[in-house]
Amino acid sequence: MDTKGDVLMQRYELGKLLGHGNFAKVYHARNVLTGMSVAVKVIDKKKVLKSGMITHIKREISVMRLVKHANIVRLHEVMASKTKIYFILEYVKGGELFDKLAKGRLKEDAARKYFQQLISAIGFCHSRGVYHRDLKPENLLLDDEGNLKVSDFGLSALAETKRQDGLLHTCCGSPAYVAPEIIDQRGYDGAKADIWSCGVVLFVLLAGFLPFHDSNLVEMYRKIAGARFKYPNSFPVAAKSLVSKMLDPNPITRISIGDIVEHPWFNTGLVSEPVITETGAGGGDGGGGNCNCNAFDIISLSRGLNLSGLFNDNGEDEKEVRFMVKQPASIIISKLEEVAKILKMKVVKNNGVLLRMEGGLVVDFEVLEIMPNVHLIEAELVAGDRVGFREIMSEHIRPALTSVTEPSE
């Protein structure tokens, strides 16, 4: 049982409990080697397995690995024991933006600053194919310098989870902040749904109350569907046109991120913020190659810390395999094509880095550059027998490629 004073993996000493939910507890902690403060999210494996939330946890890790931005809470690393998973997160000690709203509406300049930082973060997420889907003041934190940090990507979605119609279909989010097209349970554009939620957040910052509120949930949904709300007299006139365009019930005509950042009210006093924040050993983006992974990214994606292994010690039932090879992408693709020919499987390529093998099984391969001539291979069984998938991976694919030594701590 994790308690105050415990030292996780001989690296992080747990402090006070910051919060808790159904599956996790969040503690303040200290890195015993560097003294750096972090937040540790402790997830109970058993509860997650019973609730069928494995996919959500894996997605949250994958998403947070993609979105490194000055206004997004940083995931430093992930660790696991037999019973728990530990997210080591940036410690944001200024509390929730929600707490500031308990005193009423914010001054216009303060609200604008937070909104500018929110749009900067969400625009970056969308550029990486990530949709948050649960934007609200409770999920917006403030650091000790008063800068906004977007948190809680547990309900987020990746562009690759869209169906063939190019839309998302999972109904999620907090009722008062959710877009009308999600309530209607028709397919929706994740980016446009996030923009609606950002519009509700902006209204709350400037008004001090929700635009859509009713004790009867059905009636509240009707108000959302018709975008029926009223501005208080105190609401800044220049901000009304922006909010109205964000709270357009038609997602097709709803304003885009690009148009938001061009709006005069948004641009007032705008200060450019750094986008990527790489810290720690392993470097990040500062020099040579196309690598945008730090040391943790490489370790967490290696076989030693495969996300699947966080839940399944033997990996026998998994449909995904990840490993690294120390070869140029052209050679990797060529060797995969040779194996496909031997196995009498058809090959379909997409830009040379995504390859599909079809024939009895359907397996997708993605080749991701970690650093010059070092690539991460992701293989996913799309259709077919898992036993057959494991067989071709262990007897044909892996032997055909030279794996590098697995990183270790």
| Nearest alpha-carbon partner for 21 in 111, 154, 123 | 154
Query: Residue 61: what pLDDT?
Result: 82
Q: Delimit the domains of the chain by residue range.
A: 7-90, 97-267, 295-400
Question: Catalytic residue at 214?
Answer: no
> What's the full length of the chain, in residues?
409
Task: Select which of 44, 99, 134, 152 is catalytic.
Answer: 134
150 and 140 Cβ atoms separated by less than 8 Å: yes
CB 116 within 8 A of CB 66: no
CATH class of the region 7-90: alpha beta
Q: Are 138 and 96 in contact (CB under 8 A)?
A: yes
100 is in an annotated binding site: no
- The correct CATH number of 295-400 out of 3.40.50.2000, 2.40.128.20, 3.30.310.80, 3.90.180.10 is 3.30.310.80
Return the pLDDT at 229.
Answer: 95
The pLDDT assigned to 324 comes to 73
Tens-level pLDDT at each residue, the chain (409 residues)? 666 668 887 889 999 998 877 778 899 999 998 999 999 999 888 887 777 777 778 778 878 888 889 999 999 888 888 888 899 999 998 888 988 888 889 999 999 999 999 999 999 999 888 888 889 998 999 999 999 999 988 777 766 555 555 555 555 567 899 998 888 767 778 899 999 999 999 999 999 999 998 888 889 889 999 999 999 999 999 999 999 999 999 999 999 999 999 999 999 888 765 454 443 333 333 333 334 444 444 444 433 334 555 555 444 446 777 777 778 888 888 888 999 999 889 888 776 567 888 888 888 888 876 666 777 788 888 888 888 888 888 888 888 886 443 333 3
97-267 fold: Transferase(Phosphotransferase); domain 1 (1.10.510)
pLDDT at 153: 80
| Alpha-carbon dihedral angle through residues 284, 379, 331, 357, given to the nearest 10 degrees | -150
**Closest CA relative to residue 309, chosen from 126, 95, 57, 20:** 57
**pLDDT value at position 185?**
66
Give yes or no on whether 7-90 and 295-400 have one common fold.
Answer: no
